Amino acid sequence: MEQQNSLGAHLSYMTRCAEYDRLSSQVAQILSKLSQLTTQQADLFQTGDFQGFKNLDREVELTLGEKERAIGALGQHMSEHKCQT
């Protein structure tokens, strides 16, 4: 099935598979975790708790790495299997 986006370009939409659903759910969970961590880190910074900020920074960095790997895996899957929403 094809649709046009707002710029008039044609977009092809294929059916989703279970692996796509699993990978996209994983990305969503990691993004949610990252949002929570950065909100917490911002709060620590704003209240002047620089030690707490520094302590949380490592977890933020590790979660960013998780996000990059998860998005890469999803992108690779979509490219190889041509499945997306």
DSSP letters of 14-30? PPP-HHHHHHHHHHHHH
Q: What pLDDT is stored for residue 15 in this prediction?
A: 64
Give 64 or 12, the one with higher predicted confidence: 64
15: which residues sit within 8 A by CB, 6+ positions away?
A: 83
8 A C-beta contact, residue 15 and residue 65? no
What pLDDT, in 10s, does the model give residues 23-80? Answer: 999 999 999 999 999 999 999 999 999 999 999 999 999 999 999 999 999 999 988 8
Which pLDDT band holds residue 4 (cuts at 50, 70, 90)?
very low
CA–CA distance, 9 with 2 (Å, rounded to integer): 10
Give 82 or 1, the one with higher predicted confidence: 82
